Amino acid sequence: MCKRLLPLIPAGLVVEDVRVSPVGLTIGAHPRSASAACPRCGCLSHRVHSRYLRVLADLPWQGRVVSIEVQARRFRCLTPGCPCRIFAEPLSGIAGRHQRRTCRLGDIQRQVGLALGGDPGARLTARLGMTTSGDTLLRLVRRRDDHADADGGLRVIGVDDWAWRRGHRYGTILVDLEKRRIVDLLPDRDADTFATWLREHPDVEIIARDRGSSYAEGGRRGAPEAIHVADRWHLLENCSAAVLEAVKRHQPTLRSAARSLAEEAQPSPAPSAPDPSTMTSAQRRQWEGWCRRMQRHAEVVRLHRSGVPAHQIARDLALSRNTVRRWIRGGQLELYRPRMHSLDPWRAYLEHRWAAGCRNGARLWRDVRKEGFKGGLRVVTEWASRQRLATAPAKIAIPSARRAARLLVADLGVLDAAERKHIERLLATSPALARVRDLARRFSAMIRTHDAEAFHTWLADAVDSELASFTCGLRQDEAAVRAALDQPWSSGQVEGQITRLKLVKRQGYGRAKLDLLRARLLAE
């Protein structure tokens, strides 16, 4: 094979021969330079002491595994008194010390490890002709963890927690909001840990965070001069939680408003067709059969009016001619076909026992059997089910506290008629909830429009309302809340990076340690 067919071998090597096999390609080569520098004294030496063979795995070629056999040399150091008398020449830019792969192969494998992790990356590299193990990929990711720690210019950071294990253990993520990248992961969410990190990065000027006390305290201790910016989404979420608590405290009012609306509702006219939801299973089967017969009845009438003779209608619809003639002549369909029911002779006895308070179908069946009834248990239990449905009180739809809180702060124009009527009655019944609604809507508009001038007035109006606890928390963190109305920064980018962190964490089935997560997330 012509050596010119392999122009992409690592620079600094001279090809001597190429050997091709069905599964691989072996390239014999030797270094191009005639001398090498001593690693101790740096003196160049051209005196060769001996030679040895280094076998390096390289990038695949045409789907075949490639290995390079390098005739490396050992040199004598020419500097008198140098402790390194004999040294091996370094293959700079080709392979590192003691490595058995080229630098470019190691870099590609590391990129695969960063993207996919250990075992998935190993399966991909095997298909690409760069076979390696998952553990090796993870070692490459960790060993080459040379992400830029030069955080000079790290001016605006976002901080939030993420779950190692939800409800048990949490860590901290730190994001550069200007460059939109993760700058570090911390093993916990303690104030001391965050304060220590801030002292190591004195250039931080703005901290965007939620209203958690640990990050507020850590930020004040680690960067006293930094501006704290509360996240606007978390402020709206905190306000919604406060409204929900206020609604829970007024559950009796919520129920009374629903009952009053139900009592005022006029009874609707009796429906022309029964409601299947109030039927027993036997009645529902009978009702479905009647609906099918009504469809066929309407089809018979339609065909007759279009001029189709009766015998043709009977043939097309698989009906008897007498049935077709009766329907054409105006015969009506009855929902429940008149027939003698086996319970009719004992109906008065059953109604008497029902009025006496016996509501158990099996007990009624045993009693009526003693009176001479020969039917089965199901006949009596279905009668009891119909009685129970007929005497059941009408249910009043009372919305849950969470739904009522959502409807309370929503615009009335987006609600349907029933929801709007319920909210209007609730507001008329409870002035306290009406005030909560007004304050919550004002707070939402203030946050969304960044109206910093309205904040002081809102605090004064809400101090003695149902949102007093929420207002007290805002006063304790007033500087951060005011900065949220003045500054453009938020924790949205942090939440997005947490989603990315969760993806990487789940790719490792939750077994990745902090150093591996840092290496995969901080690599650019």
Give me the pLDDT at residue 270, please. 45
Give me the pLDDT at residue 280, please. 67
Q: Give the domain 156-231+490-522 fold.
A: Nucleotidyltransferase; domain 5 (3.30.420)
**Domain-wise residue ranges, the chain:** 3-101, 105-143, 156-231+490-522, 236-250+399-486, 277-388
Mean pLDDT of 198-224: 91
CB proximity list for 362: less than 8 A, separation 6 or greater: 377, 380, 381
Mean pLDDT of 377-398: 77
Res 8 pLDDT > 80: no
Give me the pLDDT at residue 261, please. 80
Q: How many C-beta atoms lie closer than 10 Å to residue 326's C-beta?
A: 13
CA distances from 344 to 285, 305, 347, 386 (A): 21, 42, 5, 15
Res 520 pLDDT > 60: yes
Gap between the Cα atoms of 70 and 358, Å rounded: 98
pLDDT confidence tier of residue 277, bands split at 50, 70 and 90: low
Give 523 or 467, the one with higher predicted confidence.
467
Res 182 pLDDT > 80: yes
What one-character-per-residue DSSP string does 42-106 give? Answer: --EE--EEEEEEEEEEEEEETTEEEEEEEEEEEEE--STT-S--EEEPP-TTT--TT-SB-HHHH
Give me the pLDDT at residue 333, please. 55
CB proximity list for 60: less than 8 A, separation 6 or greater: 66, 128, 129, 130
Are the C-beta atoms of residues 160 and 495 closer than 8 Å to each other? yes
pLDDT in tens, 468-503: 999 999 999 999 999 999 999 999 999 999 999 999
Least confident interval from 67-81, 182-196, 378-392, 414-428: 378-392
Give me the pLDDT at residue 288, please. 81
Give me the pLDDT at residue 265, please. 63
Res 148 pLDDT > 50: no
pLDDT in tens, 149-173: 445 578 999 999 999 888 889 999 9
Mean pLDDT of 301-323: 87
Q: Determine what percent of the chain is predicted with pLDDT higher than 90.
A: 39
For residue 230, the SS3 value is: strand
Q: Determine what percent of the chain is predicted with pLDDT higher than 70.
A: 90
Give 29 or 280, the one with higher predicted confidence.
29
Mean pLDDT of 245-250: 92
Give me the pLDDT at residue 400, please. 87
pLDDT confidence tier of residue 93, bands split at 50, 70 and 90: confident
Give me the pLDDT at residue 96, please. 87
pLDDT confidence tier of residue 276, bands split at 50, 70 and 90: low
Q: How does 451-478 read in b/e, with b if 16+ C-beta sit within 10 Å?
A: eeeebeebbebbeebbbeebbeebeebe
Q: pTM for this one?
A: 0.66
User: How does DSSP classify residue 156?
Assistant: E
Mean pLDDT of 237-245: 94
Give me the pLDDT at residue 11, please. 83
pLDDT in tens, 47-59: 999 999 999 999 9
pLDDT confidence tier of residue 222, bands split at 50, 70 and 90: very high
Cα angle value 102/106/109 (rounded, 5°): 140
Mean pLDDT of 383-388: 83
Res 339 pLDDT > 80: no
pLDDT in tens, 16-28: 888 888 878 899 9
